[in-house]
A and B are shown apart, each in its own frame.
Chain A
């Protein structure tokens, strides 16, 4: 594994090994000295061309706890705002001797493109509507800790599928681990051409949330991404909530103790009601600490060893 650009880059074994390493990294979070010396002398740059709180700070803390030097570059306040191209910005930063490049970009495929320009290990932290592999890994990791194994378990993914890179990465990751996945969205937010993909990848689609919820072993709510919506995808926020929000009434449809995930940031009252977000079975904050562990594991496997090799 030289880069982490897509869940497709990982074998099932590599995913499970990342989870095992993440469990060790999780223990480090509880220590008084939260530091491992594995990336001493390595430099990691977080390049974020889109707003982010949790992903960027998660990668930053992960790098720092592994003793790497971490630098953040964001589009605002960088040469990008002066008109520099992505390629020039990336090459400039890499000319400073960077070992790892964590990149988030509004254009789908940006991370793959960047990985072809540089020698550094590239981690895709979200590219447009394409993929967000570390989010999928942390979601599956969190669910695995709750459900034991994902083999044969039924995960429902609900929300704005069209604009969601989290959904695209998650479907690949969860089906790879043997989970049965059903994705639910209003027809306007169901990606066009999903029929062929779902048939090939082996997941189900539905427009009827109330029919799916009672048989789910885990529920994953997606954020309604207003910043990516130029047209009218649903008549009103209220109408979306009535049809596809995880409301208090729908909470009662779930089997007891079914974990509820949300990648954040949450639009409370739109796709998820406060009753669900703050319910005892909500694992939103565990996703955050699990995300840190997963990102530590990813940086460890990409950068700690002989960077020419894979996971041993």
Chain B
């Protein structure tokens, strides 16, 4: 894992800088996949749930890596938390995305929530509420590509691709080939 790069903290500079390129992202996902396997002692009972939008392709990529290492497929699903957000009231109504659980469901499984950026923690809170309506996982873990700090709730990630200390005013953008046509993480 590359050392945290503290020089990106210059708020006055509004130009966009790449903090992770395609190879960095790939390495981070490979490491997260191995950490998950190590922590879980294999892929048994593991369910990867990607959070819309960019958590979904990230979950698929981690699943591919785990399948390559373990030789067995791992369950992947997608979770939409729109209906569980705490800011529904303050915005025009948003369209929800699809929630799709793997055929085995999530009961008694080790569910790993996968998202691109961990910021306020409110999305993850919504995801935990959504999970409670969908079943009763044995354990829930959180894997994110980027943790940019500024939590507003007592939530932390178990697996982090890169810790990215950032100012509140800065904008962290994750782009993935499946959604945006390219793989990179930028800050501006």
- A309 interface residue (CB < 8 Å to B): yes
Measured CA separation A32–B84 after assembly (Å):
17
Partner of A38, one of B80, B83, B92: B83
Whether the Cβ atoms of A24 and B96 lie closer than 8 Å is yes
8 closest A-B pairs (Cβ-Cβ)? A309-B92, A305-B93, A312-B92, A33-B133, A36-B83, A24-B96, A301-B93, A305-B92
Measured CA separation A304–B135 after assembly (Å):
24
> Taking each of B83, B98, B134, which has the highest tally of chain A beta carbons within 10 Å of its own beta carbon?
B83
Whether the Cβ atoms of B92 and A306 lie closer than 8 Å is yes
- A226 interface residue (CB < 8 Å to B): no
Partner of B93, one of A27, A31, A311: A311
- B40 interface residue (CB < 8 Å to A): no
Would A37 and B84 be within 8 Å (CB), given that A31-B134, A306-B89 are in contact? yes
With a cutoff of 8 Å between Cβ atoms, the chain A residues found around residue B91 in the complex are 305-306, 309, 312
- B94 interface residue (CB < 8 Å to A): yes
With a cutoff of 8 Å between Cβ atoms, the chain B residues found around residue A23 in the complex are 98
- B90 interface residue (CB < 8 Å to A): yes
Measured CA separation A222–B84 after assembly (Å):
39
**Hey, what's the 0/1 contact readout for A214-246 against B, CB within 8 Å counting as 1?**
000000000000000000000000000000000
What are 30 A-B residue pairs whose CB atoms fall within 8 Å in the complex? Answer: A17-B95, A20-B95, A21-B95, A21-B96, A24-B80, A24-B96, A24-B97, A24-B99, A27-B99, A31-B134, A33-B133, A36-B83, A36-B84, A36-B133, A37-B84, A37-B129, A38-B83, A38-B88, A300-B83, A301-B93, A304-B88, A305-B89, A305-B91, A305-B92, A305-B94, A306-B89, A306-B90, A310-B92, A310-B93, A312-B94
Partner of A309, one of B93, B99, B133: B93
